[in-house]
């Protein structure tokens, strides 16, 4: 095929969009609707996933160490040579206990590959946090400053995979110097379950919708081509090759796909932003904090756009090729 014919056929494909405008409208309508449904399902699933992930991130494990005095007594009771307490360490020297804290932090960081971040919270910081939480009554804790502080040093541990929480928890408990580990096991389990459910249900809905869309779209294109089968026949009688007949239809398919993708994309963009805006304006503070983790449109804009363009153009082209095949055997 020479460039001359190619240009002519391209033009023919674009022209026939207009000459068969009712069918164009029907195809674009169906394709847009399908893209919209799939797009919203994807966004919904992604958002629920994101929310669960946000809640996961809030979930911290706290590993409490023995207090220095308790650990000192424990060693004595076990018959080991006890260390020099910080209060007895000469000034200017690093105490045994602060070295022990550093060692313990290193042990926690390497206890297994599920550890994401370890933050040391000294007993002074712990007390300060406690005071802030108590608000006005915080002054009640003023007597427990310095030597009187009953709180232990602790580590706030962020973990990567919540489903392996209990395993990590028991590993942490094994570490020398750790007295207890506090973790919200039941919350973690619920979140993990929700996440699994959302993924399974969400993506099966998306898959089902994709299949339904494909069926509807192929049928629409088939109807378009059926209404033009005479035209195809005539072309064959005049000596047109299959590719000569096919190219305008493929061009048409690409155009239908592009138009639908653009319309669906704009609709999703506007709809999503509108819904997001309404929720943020009107929802209660509890909902607002939940919705704060909603993915902003610009974060998914590129992926969604690429997904729409590729899938709709592919559907348009494949639909054209598949449905035309049965009609050009003359």
Residues of this chain that bind another protein (CB under 8 A)? 1-2, 4-5, 8, 15-16, 19-20, 230-231, 233-242, 244, 330
CB nearer to another protein: pick between 280 and 330: 330
Tell me the C-alpha to C-alpha distance, in Å, between residue 49 and each of 52, 160, 288, 299. Answer: 5, 15, 17, 15
Cβ atoms of 153 and 122 within 8 Å: the answer is yes
CB nearer to another protein: pick between 167 and 326: 326
Give least dist CB 325 to another protein, A.
13
Residue 280 CA to residue 289 CA, distance in Å, equals: 9
Give least dist CB 237 to another protein, A.
6
Residue 57 CA to residue 48 CA, distance in Å, equals: 14
CB nearer to another protein: pick between 17 and 294: 17
CB nearer to another protein: pick between 19 and 288: 19
| Gyration radius of the chain's alpha carbons | 33
Residue 167 CA to residue 116 CA, distance in Å, equals: 15
Instruction: Bin 135: left if φ > 0, else alpha if -120 < ψ < 50, else beta.
Output: left
Q: Could you tell me which residues come within 8 angstroms of residue 309 by beta carbon, excluding any fewer than 6 positions away? A: 257, 258, 261
| Overall size of the chain counted in residues | 330
Give least dist CB 315 to another protein, A.
24
Give least dist CB 303 to another protein, A.
39
Q: Tell me the three state secondary structure of residue 181.
A: strand
Nearest Cα to Cα of residue 152 among 187, 117, 122, 108: 122
CB nearer to another protein: pick between 129 and 243: 243
CB nearer to another protein: pick between 20 and 89: 20
Give least dist CB 327 to another protein, A.
14
Q: Could you tell me which residues come within 8 angstroms of residue 151 by beta carbon, excluding any fewer than 6 positions away? A: 67, 123, 126, 127, 130, 144
Nearest Cα to Cα of residue 249 among 146, 323, 144, 147: 323
CB nearer to another protein: pick between 235 and 321: 235
Give least dist CB 256 to another protein, A.
17
Give least dist CB 260 to another protein, A.
22
């Amino acid at each position: 095929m020479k460039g001359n014919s190619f240009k002519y056929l391209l033009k023919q494909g674009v022209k026939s969009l207009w000459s068969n405008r009712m069918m164009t409208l029907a195809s674009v309508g169906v394709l847009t609707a399908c893209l919209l449904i799939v797009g919203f399902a994807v966004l919904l699933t992604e958002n629920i996933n994101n929310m669960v992930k946000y809640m996961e991130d809030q979930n911290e494990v706290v590993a409490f160490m023995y207090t220095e005095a308790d650990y000192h007594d424990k060693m004595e009771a076990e018959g080991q040579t006890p260390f020099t307490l910080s209060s007895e360490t000469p000034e200017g020297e690093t105490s045994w206990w602060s070295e022990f804290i550093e060692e313990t932090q290193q042990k926690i960081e390497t206890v297994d590959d599920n550890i994401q971040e370890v933050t040391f919270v000294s007993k002074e910081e712990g007390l300060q946090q406690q005071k802030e939480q108590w608000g006005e009554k915080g002054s009640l804790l003023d007597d427990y400053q310095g030597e009187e502080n009953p709180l232990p040093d602790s580590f706030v541990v962020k973990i990567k995979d919540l489903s392996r929480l209990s395993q990590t928890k028991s590993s942490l408990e094994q570490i020398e110097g750790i007295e207890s580990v506090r973790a919200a096991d039941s919350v973690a389990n619920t979140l993990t379950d929700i996440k699994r459910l959302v993924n399974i249900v969400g993506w099966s809905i998306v898959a089902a919708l994709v299949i339904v869309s494909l069926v509807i779209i192929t049928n629409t294109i088939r109807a378009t081509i059926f209404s033009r089968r005479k035209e195809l026949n005539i072309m064959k009688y005049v000596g047109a090759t299959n590719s000569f007949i096919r190219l305008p239809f493929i061009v048409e398919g690409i155009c239908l796909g592009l138009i639908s993708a653009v319309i669906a994309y704009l609709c999703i963009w506007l709809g999503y932003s509108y819904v997001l805006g309404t929720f943020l304006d009107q929802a209660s503070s509890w909902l607002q904090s939940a919705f704060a983790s909603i993915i902003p449109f610009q974060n998914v804009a590129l992926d969604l756009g690429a997904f729409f363009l590729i899938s709709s153009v592919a559907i348009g082209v494949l639909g054209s090729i598949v449905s035309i095949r049965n009609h050009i055997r003359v």
